[in-house]
Amino acid sequence: MGAVDTNPPDAQIHITDHGSDWLWAVFAIMAVSTLGMFAWSHMRPRGTRFFHNIALIILLVSTISYFSMASNLGATPIQTEFRAQGTRQIWYVRYIQWFINFPLLLVILLFATGLALTEILTAAFFAWVVVVCGLVGGLVQSSYKWGFYVFGLFALFYIWIVLLGHGPRTTFNAGPGLRSGYLRGSGLLSFILVLYPIGWALSEGGNVISSTSEMVWYGVLDLVLGPFFLFYVVFGIRNIDYNTFGLQSLKYSDTYGARPAVGVAAPAVLPAVTAVGRNV
């Protein structure tokens, strides 16, 4: 007996057993990636785990989310606006996942740049706007859902400006290698972000594709921005001195007693820099 039989759907348009099987496969990949990132993080010296720990959070949240969706839990029925009359599963658990993960994806990428902390936090806020607008739009039964869709697109446009415009123009203290890696990472992230609103318009918004096809669409995107993207980022910064990111605080987590952790250089005292080492 599959998850769809154990936890029967309460909407007329819902995932099938094949959709649940696909979600279990994505869950397995996320779970293995989470364990791998956990092990990799604890192999790093204390004080050099910032990017690894953020990646670990993203992967763990994705693992829990896909366990819920594979179990056919975490959705609510909403009356469709177009095509077949009836209710469709809207997966609020997916938006909880994105609400946590999307800002962290921006943080893990933008912290490699010389952007001010306020600009990074603003981009993270706009990521929340994108996710909330997508969730509210999906829960609205009337055509007013497309108003939230437009708000989300405007927020996403701002994020593209930060990723492709502001970020590359900053100073990369770690050298040109990090800049080229950022350009590749931001290009991939920006491209994948284009595909999410397309998927929303075809599924939650326009009811064009089935719930199972929706799961395949979002599942592939989440895998690309999950294990693939995150392991690419942490692998790219594996040999970079963390002092260049301005992340040293001299707290216990960064040191062993009065000495820096193994592999962590003593932080230099710089003027006009905040306590966490980044301009505001």
Q: Tokens for 13?
A: 């348009």
Angle formed at CA 196 by CA 77 and CA 70, multiple of 5 degrees:
50
Count of H-run helices and E-run strands, the chain: 9, 4
* Mean pLDDT computed over every residue of the chain: 87
Residue 239 pLDDT level (bands cut at 50, 70, 90): confident
**Percent of the chain at pLDDT exceeding 70:** 85
Contact criterion met (CB below 8 Å) for 51 and 235:
no
What is the sign of the dihedral through the CA atoms of 55, 61, 62 and 64? positive
**Percent of the chain at pLDDT exceeding 90:** 64
Average pLDDT over residues 182-211: 94
> Residue 70, SS3?
helix
How is 193-211 classified by DSSP, letter by letter?
Answer: HHHHHHHHIIIIIT--S-H
With a CB cutoff of 8 Å and minimum separation 6, the contacts of 17 are 2, 4
Give me the pLDDT at residue 259, please: 47
* CA distances, 225 to each of 55, 58, 61, 186, 222 (Å): 10, 10, 13, 11, 5
Angle formed at CA 139 by CA 160 and CA 11, multiple of 5 degrees:
125
Q: Tokens for 190?
A: 């920006």
Which has the minimum average pLDDT: 111-120, 132-141, 150-159, 239-248? 239-248
Give me the pLDDT at residue 168, please: 86
Residue 257 pLDDT level (bands cut at 50, 70, 90): very low
Burial 221-237 (b: 16+ CB within 10 A, else e): bbbebbbebbbebbebb
Residue 90 pLDDT level (bands cut at 50, 70, 90): very high
Q: How far from the centroid of its chain's Cα atoms is residue 36's Cα?
A: 18
* CA distances, 82 to each of 77, 100, 153, 208, 231 (Å): 15, 30, 21, 8, 40
Q: Which has the higher per-residue pLDDT, 172 or 118? A: 118
Sketch the domain layout of the chain as residue ranges.
3-260
Q: How far from the centroid of its chain's Cα atoms is residue 57's Cα?
A: 10
3-260: CATH homologous superfamily?
A: Rhodopsin 7-helix transmembrane proteins (1.20.1070.10)
| Max Cα–Cα distance, the chain, nearest Å | 68
Give me the pLDDT at residue 198, please: 97
Beta bridge partners of 77: 89
Q: Which has the higher per-residue pLDDT, 191 or 48? A: 191
Please write the tens of the pLDDT for every residue from 31-80. Answer: 999 999 999 999 888 878 889 999 999 999 999 999 999 999 999 999 99
Strands 259-260 and 255-256: antiparallel
pTM attached to this predicted model: 0.86
